[in-house]
Amino acid sequence: MRPVASADSFLVNGSMTLEKLKDLCREDKENVNPSYLLQLYTQAVLDITYFEENKLVDEDFPEESSLQKVKELICLLLEPEIVVKESNMHQETLKVLGIELLECLYWRKGALLYMYCHTVKERGEWLTENAEWFKKCLNDGIHYLLKMLRFRCPVQLNEEVSYNDADTARLLSDGIFSDTHLLAMMYSGEMCYWSLKYCEGKQESHKTNLESNSESHYCSHSAVLDFREQGEKILMTYVAVCEGPLKGQNWNTATAKQILDYFKTLLK
């Protein structure tokens, strides 16, 4: 969803955006669009947290400090929605921030938790001592990625809608609008697998420590998620499109197929 660039450039961009935001806030309120200010703030949050995330990844999520840092980054990425809801604009967050920024917020939260879980699951002693935290990270990461995938509705194909490119039509009908959507499918499916392998088959509804009390009115996850069913569904779609419309474009399905085989063993 964003061009490849050095992490430092995102920190610079974020700082410049904050300065622009400060200047606009000094102007006459009647001449400033509140939605635009919130969008600028969100972009600054995305850029600055991206810089911090890259430091964590480069350092391989240091065991002594990364847990607290991940919590802080998730809270920062939650802030734009909190600000919108507390701004008394009486508009839905989607209308204020726009679909691309919201997708980016949820992708970044989900991808951060994916990368963190991918690293710490190999730390046997840590995993034993922090089992509940690990489950919460997986649960939240899956929910963030699934919500990211639901912001845009799949295109309903019918005789009244024609596409010159059948492959593109197939992707849009499966709700895949970018490479990031496809990655979100793989990440969420893999996290469902980790939940089954390292935790349990069905996660209880809970309010996680990633969220502060001020966010509880809209951030808690109320649905009980069947990891096998959800993981199987999303990875089957991933494999189908990678070996169908995207065949020959270097999308690897080996891991997805291995996970699907594992899901099948749970039914025996």
Is residue 250 assigned to a domain?
yes
Say what percent of the chain tops pLDDT 90. Answer: 56
Is the pLDDT confidence value at 265 over 80?
yes
Is the pLDDT confidence value at 217 over 50?
no
Q: What's the number of domains the chain is made of?
A: 1
Q: Which of 173, 38, 159 is nearest to 94 (CA)?
A: 38
Mean pLDDT over 47-74 rounds to 94
Percentage helix, strand, coil for the chain under 3-state DSSP, each rounded to 5 = 70, 0, 30
Is residue 255 assigned to a domain?
yes
Is the pLDDT confidence value at 267 over 90?
no
Mean pLDDT over 143-158 rounds to 87
Question: CA 112 → CA 4, 49, 160, 236, distances in Å?
Answer: 17, 10, 41, 24
Model pTM? 0.84
pLDDT at residue number 79: 95
pLDDT at residue number 29: 66
Mean pLDDT over 137-141 rounds to 95
Residue 204, burial from CB neighbour count under 10 angstroms (0-12, 13-18, 19+): exposed
Is 38:97 a contact under the CB 8 Å cutoff? Answer: yes
User: What is the pLDDT confidence band of residue 4, given thresholds at 50, 70 and 90?
Assistant: very low
Tokens 């009908």 found at: 173
pLDDT digits over 162-214, tens only?
566 777 788 888 888 999 999 999 999 999 999 999 886 444 444 444 444 33
Is residue 1 assigned to a domain?
no
Say what percent of the chain tops pLDDT 70. Answer: 83
DSSP 24-57: HHHS-GGGS-HHHHHHHHHHHHHHHHHHHHHHHH
pLDDT at residue number 123: 92
pLDDT at residue number 19: 78
Q: Report strand pairing: 202-203 vs 225-226.
A: antiparallel
Mean pLDDT over 54-78 rounds to 94
Q: Which one is predicted more confidently, 12 or 68? A: 68
pLDDT at residue number 222: 42
pLDDT at residue number 212: 40
Q: Which domain holds residue 216?
A: 7-265
Mean pLDDT of the chain: 84
Is the pLDDT confidence value at 219 over 50?
no
